[in-house]
Amino acid sequence: MNPPTRLVEVRQRVLKHNDVVAHELRRRFQEAGVMVVSLVSSPGAGKTAFLEKILGMLRSQYRVAAIVGDLATDNDARRLARAQVPTRQIVTGAVCHLEAQMVAGALDGWSLAELDFLFIENVGNLVCPASYDLGEALRLVLLSVTEGEDKPLKYPTIFNTADIALVTKIDLAAAVDFDRPAALRNIQAVRPGMPIFEVSAKTGAGLSYWLEDLHNRKSNGRRQQDDLGQ
Amino acid sequence: MNPPTRLVEVRQRVLKHNDVVAHELRRRFQEAGVMVVSLVSSPGAGKTAFLEKILGMLRSQYRVAAIVGDLATDNDARRLARAQVPTRQIVTGAVCHLEAQMVAGALDGWSLAELDFLFIENVGNLVCPASYDLGEALRLVLLSVTEGEDKPLKYPTIFNTADIALVTKIDLAAAVDFDRPAALRNIQAVRPGMPIFEVSAKTGAGLSYWLEDLHNRKSNGRRQQDDLGQ
């Protein structure tokens, strides 16, 4: 018996089960009119810092909430709570990604219809989260300038499953000799036409451009729903 | 049927199989007198940059070689080849870690007895590599100052399975407001007594201290083998 082959088979069954739950989640989110945005990246690319800043900027205009996943600790949920929006932590234990079922569990008791945006911060990992649909409408992949410009080529799947790339920590670009053309070229090589936003949660640079894009997507989504008579 | 439960069962079988292969690898490495050092970290923490520098510094005194793992691309092997030591790339596809069997395969045709040190750079990932023994004598976990000081608390398993922590990119410490006491405290909280070296591959800071430690470990290992009459 070949253990890896059996692992692949069982894994496919898990993924199929995840897809069913994610499909149902997506239907619930659409029905409730909440736009769900997930964030994936390697550990330390700045997901929580970005989210903390964005939540603070959105909450005057929208009703927002966040779910954060981590193997251990609720550090991120405590950080996000500073933005004064409802936040829940999923502790995954030894699991290197969030699954749709974990998200469904974390929603318990929340009225989705009372939210405009729900952000889901995945576990810091450039491999495992790629395979798991969480029912989100939009998936952001973050790449910090300190990580190296070849990450898209080395982790193509996660860039392929994402809708938007955020180049983060651009305030450090000069200090780390960030090769911007190479980074942008590598993202486009893996996912041609992918929208890219360059941001810094520390200085606030670029955040308003991304928020404008998010706002437009939300409005378009609403128009499409109206057109469909929903 | 509960797919996650079956996944855990099959995964345990894979891990058991890995342990058998790793055990055999460790025996081969010891017999050949080669010291095997593996590196784990999140993507972009600086494993390849560190290794490139270290290989260049070691090769005048020792016979060294390297194996690098990645999901896609042989970028790292090509970077390490610049250090002019034998290098091999393992492309893991969708697999988020190296396994002992992959390492065994990559050794084909190499005469281990002609090596003093073999370095194995794992896939950039703070979760999956923790569970897979590669037969190494020494496992280094790298944490860059740009990643956030709480990584040891969030990914305790990988820090627990490592022997030495390297805090990397210390040339950027001021630029990112690195909280050094917090980082060191968090490493010690997860793995009390763990040796910590603070280094910069860019400036070379701290590298000689780590090399001295490596040199001493190599000498002690040789003495122990002599004592055992091997």
CB A146 to CB B144 under 8 A?
yes
B192 DSSP assignment: T
**Rounded to a whole number, what is the distance in Å from the CA of A101 to chain B's nearest CA?**
11
Token readout for B160 is 């627990």
Among A6, A125, A144, the residue with its CB nearest the CB of B127 is A125
More confident residue, B93 or A10: B93
pLDDT band at A10 (very low <50, low <70, confident <90, very high): confident
Q: A61: which residues sit within 8 A by CB, 6+ positions away?
A: none
What beta strand segments (E) does A34-98 contain? 35-40, 64-70, 87-91
* HSE, side-chain direction, 13 A CA sphere, residue B64: 24
- pLDDT above 90: percentage of residues in chain B: 85
Q: pLDDT at position A21, please?
A: 96
| Cβ neighbourhood burial of B217 (10 Å; 0-12, 13-18, 19+) | middle
A173 DSSP assignment: T
Q: Which residues of A touch B14 (CB under 8 A)?
A: 3-4, 7
Among A44, A72, A94, the residue with its CB nearest the CB of B42 is A44
Q: A130: which residues sit within 8 A by CB, 6+ positions away?
A: A40, A155, A157, A158, A160, A161
Mutate to test the interface with A, among B80, B145, B147 (most CBs of A within 10 A): B147
- Chain B residue whose CA is closest to A96: B127
pLDDT band at B14 (very low <50, low <70, confident <90, very high): confident
What beta strand segments (E) does chain B contain? 35-40, 64-70, 87-91, 117-121, 138-144, 164-168, 196-198
CA atoms of B23 and B21, how far apart (whole Å): 5
- Chain B residue whose CA is closest to A176: B172
Tens-digit pLDDT profile for residues B126-147: 999 999 999 999 999 999 999 9
> What does the angle CA A77 – CA A79 – CA A81 come to, to the nearest 5 degrees?
65
Tens-digit pLDDT profile for residues A113-133: 999 999 999 999 999 999 999
**Rounded to a whole number, what is the distance in Å from the CA of B80 to chain A's nearest CA?**
15
CB A155 to CB B13 under 8 A?
no
Residues B201-216: what's their mean pLDDT? 96
Residue A61 DSSP SS3: coil
Please state, rounded to an integer, the average pLDDT across all residues of chain A.
92
Backbone dihedral angles phi then psi of residue B53, each to the nearest 5 degrees? -65, -45
Tens-digit pLDDT profile for residues A158-202: 999 999 999 999 999 999 999 999 999 999 999 999 999 999 999
| CA-closest candidate to residue B130, choices B105, B110, B152 | B152
CA atoms of A74 and A90, how far apart (whole Å): 8
Q: pLDDT at position A22, please?
A: 97
B97 pLDDT higher than 70: yes
With a threshold of 0.90, tell me whether the complex ipTM lies above it: no
Look at the block and give the residue holding tokens 């053309």: A181
Q: pLDDT at position A183, please?
A: 97
Q: Which residues of A touch B158 (CB under 8 A)?
A: none
Token readout for B99 is 């396994």
Token readout for A73 is 């600790």
Look at the block and give the residue holding tokens 């608390």: B153
CA atoms of B93 and A202, how far apart (whole Å): 35
Other CB atoms within 10 Å distance of the CB of residue A229: 5
Other CB atoms within 10 Å distance of the CB of residue B31: 12
